[in-house]
Amino acid sequence: MSSRPEDDNRSALGRGERSALLVVDMINNYDHPDGEPLRESAESVVPVVSGLIERAYAEDVPVIHVNDNHGLWGSRRDELIEDARRPGQDHLIDPMLPRDDAPFVFKARHSIFYGSPLEYLLESEGIGRLVLTGQVTEQCILYSALDAYIRHFQIVVPRDAVAHIDADLAKASLRMMESNMRAEIMDAADADLRGED
């Protein structure tokens, strides 16, 4: 397990030793006011996240998809995927599709924890370290990292595996996660998915 400062008591609540890769809000139709800048950022992020997903499965690290339901309260994940499909955007959706057996958690607000069963899922699987990927860096990733931190989870954010709307706010958000939430920030190529280095 990664070493932590002695005054870091995030393990005090008995969080598990396992790590998980979380893929946040990557099923998106980009048909909203901030859709175009987010889609442009996602163009470079999708291949990186896809590579991390492949690595996670190869290293036996759980992959958990958490996605906004976009107000489709009666939807299933296949309906959400169908709604996300737009001409010319298959290359942004297809690499992000969850495997049939992958956990898929719906959320309705910015944080992956708010009103969702995610915390229970993580506890039941003995997961205490979260590798956050997806979108939006300065919104859902930032708020999810804060909620993870106050719940005593360890946080890792590969900077090139999170998409943004506003590049300046995204950079500031990554700095906040690192300084205020003790998140490990690095490039995806350097990310230790299992947390054993």
DSSP 54-95: HHHHHTT--EEEEEE-TT-TT--HHHHHHHH--TT-HHHHGG
Domain map (residue ranges) of the chain: 10-190
Q: pLDDT tens digits for 55-81?
A: 999 999 999 999 988 776 767 888 888
4-42 tens-digit pLDDT: 455 555 444 558 899 999 999 999 989 889 999 999 999
Residue 11 Cα distances to 5, 179, 183, 185, angstroms:
12, 18, 14, 20
- Average pLDDT over the chain, rounded to whole? 91
- CB 94: neighbour CB atoms within 10 A? 12
Per-residue pLDDT band at 3 (split at 50, 70, 90): very low
| CATH class given for the domain over 10-190 | alpha beta
